[in-house]
Amino acid sequence: MRKRIFSWLGKEFAELTGEAKPATTATEEARELFQRFNQELQSHGLSLDNTVRSRLWGRDRESRDQGSNERVKILSGKARSASSSYIAPTHFDSNAKVAIDLLAMRPSRSAAEKFLKEYDPPIVPLRYLTYDSVVVLSGVTAVLASLDEQLDNILPRIEDSLKNASSSWDRVAKVSFFLHRSQRLETLKELFSKRVTAKIPAMEYSFVEGYSSVGKLCEIEVTATLQ
């Protein structure tokens, strides 16, 4: 497990990343890894309830599905948060089936509570959360014929969620792109810049082999602040 404590957006964050201890099923692996994460957070006066984003990596589709289902059970109630999941066998250095990145936030006010916004109708991922002036969107993706068409679907939905949360592209602090390995990074950058003109301080790019459904070519995670 790797741990990083850092200041960002006027808050203190704890970032935990780790691969599970190999077990019989991905379900068992995810459960054990979240237990270790919770213990580590508690040593800093935090808990899974402070989670704002979790990103799950599966070695294959079955591992992604099992791990994601277990995450839904564990990160429920006050621990519910923005989420995403990917299939990426090259992400692993061990024989684990599941790896997780978790971001927790210490609010500046002890009385601060998360506001959770669901999709209508609700689906497994949360639409977004706001927590002490920070806005965190779950990964947004689509199944359409081309990357161009998918971005035409994804980016307006992100913009609508930001607007719904009283934020905007101009308030976005970071965009994380997860691009299918069949696609070119230069094409993604060009397509995005034609559609979003806001100056975003941080943009990061990763390559994956798959998503929750076949046919997706890109998933985008956004973190912003309130107006």
Distances (CA, A) of 197 to 38, 93, 174, 189, 224: 39, 38, 14, 12, 16
pTM: 0.96
**pLDDT at res. 19:** 98
Residue 20's nearest CA partner among 4, 40, 3, 37 is: 37
Q: Whole-number mean pLDDT of the chain?
A: 97
What domains are there in the chain, each with its CATH number? 2-225 (3.30.1330.40)
Averaged pLDDT for residues 213-221:
97
- What pLDDT digit, counting tens, does each position of 134-183 carry? 999 999 999 999 999 999 999 999 999 999 999 999 999 999 999 999 99
Confidence of residue 109 (pLDDT cuts 50, 70, 90): confident
Could you tell me if 208 and 88 are in contact, meaning their C-beta atoms sit under 8 angstroms apart? yes
Q: Of all residues in the chain, what percent carry a pLDDT higher than 90?
A: 98
Nearest to 201 by CA among 170, 226, 178: 170
Question: What 3-state class would DSSP assign to 171?
Answer: helix
CA distance 210 to 207: 9
Rounded Cα gap, residues 211 and 84, in angstroms: 9
User: In the structure, how many helices (H) and strands (E) does the chain have?
Assistant: 4, 12
- Closest Cα to residue 48, out of 39, 57, 56? 39
- CA-nearest of 55, 120, 118, 116 to 86 is 55
